[in-house]
Structure 1
Amino acid sequence: MPFISQIERQTDYKSFPSSCPIVIDNGGSYFRIGWAGECDPRVIFRNIVQRPRHKSTGETVSVVGDHDTGLLKYFDCTRSGPRSAFDNNVVYQFEIMEYILDFGFDRLGVDGHGVDHPVLITECPCNPVSSRCRMAELLFESYGVPSVAFGVDAAFSYTYNQRLGICDKEGLAVCSGFNTSHVIPFVEGEPVFEACCRSNVGGYHVTDYMKQLLSLKYPQHMAFLTWEKVEDLKMEHCYIAQDYSSEVKLFQNKTKEAEEKTRCWQLPFTPAPVEEQPSAEEIARKAAYKEKQGQRLREMAESKRASRINELENELRGLDFLLRQVEKVDDDSVPEFLSDTGYLSKQEIESSISKVNQSLRRTKREQVELEEKAEAATAEKFPLVDVPDNMLTPEQLKEKKKQIFLKTTAEGRQRARQKRAEEELQREKHNQLEEEKRLENPEAYLEQLRTKYKGLLEKVEQKKLLKSNGNNSNGNPTSGGVGRGERMNAAKKERMRLLTTAAFDRGKGEDTFGARDEDWQLYKLMSKDNDDDDEGPDEDEAELIRISSRLQDIDPTFTAKPESGLRQTADVPRSRTLTQEDFQISMAVERFRCPEILFNPNIVGIDQSGLDEMVGVSLRRFSPQGKGLEEKLTSSILLTGGSSQFSGLSDRLEAGVRMIRPCGTPIRVIRASDPIYDAWRGASSYAASLHFPQQTFTKMDYEEKGEDWLRTYKFRYSL
């Protein structure tokens, strides 16, 4: 289960005497601080610091731990992620460490006058002297601590379980923590750091690997896969496989046992609301409302049409009146009379009258045939078209050009309508003949269509092959040539020919290209869009499309080939309603694949030893005279640390150690009573004993003896 932070500020600080030590378990994942002699620490929080900016003011603040999620919603944490003071379980960022110690002492109840209690703080095995020196300097100078003692967390956990009778005086402590894993031998209750072994693999790497696998498997749910949630999933569902290869094959074969070992995490899901079928009264009400709206729209359209008819009739009466006035005026005075009306001649007025009549009839919904006949009749009224130009005035010449344009346009529209009518008539006749043939002999007709479709398909594919490869000189389009000429299509080959011709015509003399008008025709030929890929479908492709459509109508078993070049619409994926299963994260292989890196770090690209190999390395570092001692060590192997809580770890480690030890060697792997808190409890019980003041050193000792004395400083764990 996940660890819960405890950050309530303590109020009984002054009730403890100054001789009572403060115990700090400075772990890579959690920071634990409390009083010596107590069973549990008072304050627990994540050993991280964030420095986000306030969203409104932009002010930067320091947030220790991740306890107050309600407060962090007012800050922008995108540019400042959580930072740790550790690098592979060694403290090296003492600015961050100072923030963490400030918060820890403040939660313990320390006021601003400093810490007047001895401090026992844990560190990693074989901690560098520079890190230990900086930590002592920080505690002495910043907090005024009277005396300090350093001890290894795994050693405190081993001695605590030794007093409980779980392990012996001689044994091995296998501590798998957040950043690193250690194997420490113990002889007569004291750790032998000269024979210890370390690997830079821990719970952080397991969580990070699991987060990567789940993010790749469910990229749509990455917002839910936060670090804290993946950490909880790891502690709740992961386990160590006894045989990794056979376990993987079990899930590859999708056996029933694999299904039983699969776990699902249900994400928040709100089903879509089910639409209830409307009642008969509701349907009738909507139909009545729709009819009412339709009637309203029809009335609005009718009113608009009446208004438009009124406008056109008024315009038509005005034009008729103007035409009658023009007829009373002499021909020479017509331009002067029409100067203020916007018209140039009598013919233009008549053309406007004709257009207004057409619009009026169209608005009154008269028959289309009458309109076309009227348009054809008015199109013949072009009196100036056949008159010679020398008999016309300049104004009449302009009018003649306009009449020629109008006549040409009218004739073009008439020809287009006639052509469309003829094509439609021909298409109807062809379809009627096709239907008669089909009714006479359906099987023969269907077989004929299939044969024709196959022939046209081969022809179209042959043409496309020629277009893609170019027209070969040997007439074999499928010869498979790879020359440049065969890779170019017809348009590119034509452009290349024109350029080559121009180059040879120019010769080796003076460049006179462009002196003749014929030279510039080359650019026109080259700029033509002769690319066959841009041309529309030819007659064969159009006929192929028609036959394919006909076969699809009469033959349910027919399927057009995709390579036939037909315009086929792609199947648009239909959206479906999301269900509860779409919001489930399934954990199958990830349950044992992620913690497997504790035994095989090369899975995540770390070239180091696993836990079982580390035990063998630590045992080989003893002298040959200690073979009997090695048997005592393997008979008491204690698992401690946060990453030692995976189920199956004890059996897997015992099997791994048995494979590297001689046959008959006594091997016993046991787990600590509480792998998380045993380190702090062991340090707390030791700090409460009478021997603890002998293991501390004061600020005066530090200033007199210096850093070299810290190099030889050794904490004794046996009381």
Structure 2
Amino acid sequence: MDSTTVYCIPTPPAPSIPPPSTDSYDNHRYQYTPLVIDNGSTTLRWGFATSSNPASGPNIIAKYKDRKSNRPLLLFGDAVEVEGGAKAQGRTPWEGDVLLNFDALENALDYAFINLGIDTNTVNHPVLMTERSCSPLHSRALTSELMFEQYCVPSLTYCVDGVMSFYYNNLPPTNSPFTSDGIVISFNTASTSVIPILHGRGLMSHAKRIPWGASQSSEYLLKLIQLKYANFPTRVTSSQANWMLRNFCEVSEDYTALIRTFKDPNALRASEKIIQFPFTVPVTDERTEEELARASEKRKEQGRKLQELAAKTRMEKLAQKEIDYQYLLDIKESRGDLGKRDWQNKLLAEGFDDETTLDETLKKLDNDLKRARKKEAALGGDDAQEEEPPSFPLADVPDDQLDEEGLKEKKKQKLLRAGFEARARARKEKEREKEERQREEKREEEEREADPGAWARKMKQEQETLMARIKGRQRRRAALSDRKSAAAQARMKSIANLASDERVPKKKRKGVGEDTFGADDADWAIYRKINTAAASSDEEEDLSQLSLVEQKLLQYDPSFTNQHTYAHLNSQRSALLTAFRPIYEEGDVEGHSRIHLNTERWRVCETWFSPGIAGVDSAGIGEVIHNILSRFDNEQKGRLVNNIMITGTPSRIPGILSRLHRTLRPILPPEMPIGIRSAEDPSNDGWRGMAKFSLTDEFANVGVTKAEYEEYGGERIKRWWGGNWNGSYSSNFDGNVDMA
């Protein structure tokens, strides 16, 4: 893994406001130079038709109030990134692939015209503007209203960016009509369009649009990363996912065959790209050895003081419990000296409702004392064994023979004697357990020395039995999570039986609806069976016993290694899963901040050809092209497939051309040639094609003038070969005006 190249997430550059255009507007004043506007979902490109390259910026606006000057600001493009508070208020003219936010469009156009230096009250230039293929008519009508009413442009023409990119890459000779044939595949932000072109006319009636684009692909990649790295320490943003899509994702010629090769962990590991995200190295303690030794000694001293304080507190509690227990025993023994009424009054005075409550309290105190003595003996160690028996001369002296000071001393001696006796009993119990353990160890040692092989087989068999028991509980818990499993159904049956309480006859029930659960010890076995969330003492004992067995095998059996332990076997992952998502050691901050892209690199791009992978009910590019070609005869089909061009920024992803060729070859006659190429500049060729066309004589005949807008309204359109409304491919453009 160390030899693999690691790519770092780039740090976004400091945002800056782009400078205004350096071209003087005086060169275009009164010249009616066409304005070319490529209104993209992600990027807005604008400029005069005579410019070689467009000005561009992110197609986003934000209304922001400056805190210093307390003035409202209207920001566009990169300027939105300058103000951190403005990013959350950013809006684009587009909602997916539909133009809806016309306020944002107006603000974006204001910025474009100001950037071009236009200082007149109206925009006295004919405008050529893009629109999406298959756009709704009302979007065009509202855009026309904005351009004619707000900016008073003399004429407005709409075109499809993919067709204009095809036009730029198939430019006809000067003063010649555009008559090229082919298919243009336009990869956009929120969709992908496939448009056939015959005799230089885009056949929009045969065009198809797939609801999948670059934004959906980057979001899909982001979801795959979030699913794969659910606990990733750094937030992965959409812009970072888009960067990974553009730099590391590819289109495979045969996706299914490629995925099959990844069954080999080495092939999967060789295909991965490692992306390093920013991380913070934890600060290490740089103190000297002497300082560390002093700090360690100080901690030990504090620990000893805490232990002494805890031991004193435990002794005080133990002594108090001994006194309380002895006091209650004295009350119990005084039962014979009192009458029934006096005995009941005494119980009430001591806070007991009846003698049963007194017995329960005594039993609870006795159990608490046994546990406390055992714990104290375990913590006391060997020092407790060297304790000399003290004397308690006043402990058994009657109270009537002592004065007030003697009674206080007697109470103190009784406390000390109770503690001493408790430690003595715990010591004896500990010694008995120690002797039993030593006898067991000696017997096991003799058995091991007599036949090491048989001993090892016996211990391994015990290990397997314990592991099988633990795994059985885990499988049962997993089965109970599935309500249709047999274990879950048996659990529900047990719950139903407990609810009906069929074990106790109705005549023995004290009242209707009385809860009799717990009357039988078998109830608690059923409870443990149905309550899988409760901790199991049996499982804790099995884990403890398993750890002890494995320690013995590691110590005395050379063939038993750490790889055979339950902890290693339980955490072991398959080689394929490890290659899919490598696991870094605990504390490796740099490794835990890495993302390994392998199958995702091809899976995301495959969605253009199989959108169903991402849950989109749509045909892929290959199926769409096949559907379009089926509408043409072989002669027309040959002219189309001989000049297939892809355009749009996502078309830069490697492997698209070869995949398209592999997809089309089986559905076409063997003798029919296929020509597939990419646009020279997929991002800007659409604008350049519009600029070239706007300088031709034909441009003056395809736009809607302001007079026609005022006469017929915003729904007025003209059919021409580069727009959405162009009629059938067999008709020749005559410049006539048609109503939609």
Q: How many angstroms does 1:384 deviate by? A: 1.1
| Residues 482-493 of structure 1: pairs in structure 2 closer than 5 A | none
Equivalent residue for 2:58, pick from 46, 64, 67 = 46
* Contact 2:34–2:48 (Cα < 8 Å) also in 1: yes
Equivalent residue for 1:612, pick from 622, 637, 654 = 622
Equivalent residue for 1:420, pick from 423, 426, 441 = 426
* Contact 1:48–1:83 (Cα < 8 Å) also in 2: yes
| Residues 639-658 of structure 1: pairs in structure 2 closer than 5 A | 639-658=646-665
Structure 1 unaligned regions, length at least 5: 301-366, 388-394, 466-479, 514-519, 559-569
Q: State the Cα deviation string for residues 328-366 of structure 1 (Å, max 9, x = none).
A: xxxxxxxxxxxxxxxxxxxxxxxxxxxxxxxxxxxxxxx
Q: Which amino acid aligns with 2:627?
A: V
2:212 equivalent in structure 1: 201
1:379 partnered with 2:395: yes
Compared with structure 1, are the counterparts of its residues 686 and 549 closer, same or farther at alpha carbon in structure 2 (3 Å cutoff)?
A: closer
| Residues 540-579 of structure 1: pairs in structure 2 closer than 5 A | 556=556, 576-578=586-588
* SS in structure 1 of the partner of residue 716 of structure 2: helix
Q: How many angstroms does 1:24 deviate by? A: 0.1
1:90 partnered with 2:98: yes
Q: Which amino acid aligns with 1:675?
A: P
1:634 equivalent in structure 2: 641
Percent identity between matched residues is 24
* SS in structure 1 of the partner of residue 197 of structure 2: strand
* Contact 1:379–1:410 (Cα < 8 Å) also in 2: no
* Contact 1:382–1:407 (Cα < 8 Å) also in 2: no
* SS in structure 1 of the partner of residue 673 of structure 2: coil
Q: How many angstroms does 1:577 deviate by? A: 2.7
1:584 partnered with 2:598: no
1:662 partnered with 2:669: yes
Q: Which amino acid aligns with 2:211?
A: N
Q: How many angstroms does 1:649 deviate by? A: 1.8
* Contact 1:49–1:99 (Cα < 8 Å) also in 2: yes
| Residues 284-363 of structure 1: pairs in structure 2 closer than 5 A | none
Q: State the Cα deviation string for residues 483-542 of structure 1 (Å, max 9, x = none).
A: 999959xxx99x987885543x78xxxx9x9xxxxxx9x99997999958799999xx99
Q: Which amino acid aligns with 1:245?
A: T
Q: Which range moves more in the overlay, 372-381 or 134-143? A: 372-381
Output the CA distance in 2 between the equivalents of 1:379 and 1:530: 47
Q: Which amino acid aligns with 2:607?
A: I
Q: How many angstroms does 1:26 deviate by? A: 0.9
Q: How many angstroms does 1:650 deviate by? A: 2.0
* SS in structure 1 of the partner of residue 45 of structure 2: strand
Output the aligned Cα RMSD.
Answer: 5.8
Q: Which amino acid aligns with 1:687?
A: S
Q: How many angstroms does 1:674 deviate by? A: 1.4
2:46 equivalent in structure 1: 33
2:325 equivalent in structure 1: none
Output the CA distance in 2 between the equivalents of 1:369 and 1:71: 76
1:21 partnered with 2:28: no
Q: How many angstroms does 1:190 deviate by? A: 2.4
* Contact 2:248–2:601 (Cα < 8 Å) also in 1: yes
Q: Which amino acid aligns with 2:426?
A: R
Compared with structure 1, are the counterparts of its residues 5 and 547 closer, same or farther at alpha carbon in structure 2 (3 Å cutoff)?
A: closer
Output the CA distance in 2 between the equivalents of 1:448 and 1:528: 38
Q: State the Cα deviation string for residues 28-87 of structure 1 (Å, max 9, x = none).
A: 22110111121100x212223456788999998654335553422x4572xx5x544334
| Residues 23-422 of structure 1: pairs in structure 2 closer than 5 A | 23-41=36-54, 43-50=55-62, 63-65=75-77, 68-72=80-84, 74=85, 77=88, 80=89, 83-87=91-95, 89-111=97-119, 113-163=121-171, 169-221=180-232, 223=234, 225-256=236-267, 259-269=269-279, 283=289, 376-384=392-400, 412-413=418-419, 415-422=421-428
Q: How many angstroms does 1:231 deviate by? A: 1.9
Output the CA distance in 1 between the equivalents of 2:210 and 2:620: 8
Compared with structure 1, are the counterparts of its residues 178 and 382 closer, same or farther at alpha carbon in structure 2 (3 Å cutoff)?
A: same
| Residues 664-703 of structure 1: pairs in structure 2 closer than 5 A | 664-703=671-710
* Contact 1:173–1:185 (Cα < 8 Å) also in 2: yes
* SS in structure 2 of the partner of residue 376 of structure 1: coil
Output the CA distance in 2 between the equivalents of 1:576 and 1:484: 39
Equivalent residue for 2:612, pick from 599, 602, 607 = 602
Q: How many angstroms does 1:284 deviate by? A: 5.6
* SS in structure 2 of the partner of residue 186 of structure 1: strand
Q: State the Cα deviation string for residues 460-504 of structure 1 (Å, max 9, x = none).
A: x99xx9xxxxxxxxxxxxxx9x9999959xxx99x987885543x
| Residues 404-483 of structure 1: pairs in structure 2 closer than 5 A | 412-413=418-419, 415-424=421-430, 426=432, 443=449
Compared with structure 1, are the counterparts of its residues 85 and 292 closer, same or farther at alpha carbon in structure 2 (3 Å cutoff)?
A: closer
Q: How many angstroms does 1:368 deviate by? A: 10
Q: Which amino acid aligns with 1:615?
A: I
* Contact 1:7–1:107 (Cα < 8 Å) also in 2: no
Output the CA distance in 2 between the equivalents of 1:84 and 1:702: 27
Q: State the Cα deviation string for residues 223-250 of structure 1 (Å, max 9, x = none).
A: 4532222222222222221112112122
TM-score, normalisation: structure 2: 0.63
Q: Which amino acid aligns with 2:425?
A: K
TM-score, normalisation: structure 1: 0.64
* SS in structure 2 of the partner of residue 709 of structure 1: coil
Output the CA distance in 2 between the equivalents of 1:587 and 1:51: 38
1:342 equivalent in structure 2: none
* Contact 1:118–1:145 (Cα < 8 Å) also in 2: yes
* Contact 2:195–2:207 (Cα < 8 Å) also in 1: yes
Compared with structure 1, are the counterparts of its residues 176 and 294 closer, same or farther at alpha carbon in structure 2 (3 Å cutoff)?
A: closer
* Contact 2:180–2:197 (Cα < 8 Å) also in 1: yes
* Contact 2:201–2:721 (Cα < 8 Å) also in 1: no
Output the CA distance in 2 between the equivalents of 1:32 and 1:544: 68
* Contact 1:160–1:682 (Cα < 8 Å) also in 2: yes
2:326 equivalent in structure 1: none
2:339 equivalent in structure 1: none
Q: Which amino acid aligns with 1:46?
A: P
* SS in structure 2 of the partner of residue 662 of structure 1: coil
Q: Pick the structure with greater CA Rg.
A: 1
Q: Which amino acid aligns with 1:416?
A: A
Compared with structure 1, are the counterparts of its residues 416 and 547 closer, same or farther at alpha carbon in structure 2 (3 Å cutoff)?
A: farther
Output the CA distance in 2 between the equivalents of 1:618 and 1:542: 70
Compared with structure 1, are the counterparts of its residues 252 and 69 closer, same or farther at alpha carbon in structure 2 (3 Å cutoff)?
A: farther
Q: State the Cα deviation string for residues 526-566 of structure 1 (Å, max 9, x = none).
A: 7999958799999xx999999997996797469xxxxxxxx
Output the CA distance in 1 between the equivalents of 2:541 and 2:686: 84
Structure 2 unaligned regions, length at least 5: 1-9, 306-382, 473-486, 529-533, 559-569, 572-582, 727-732, 736-740
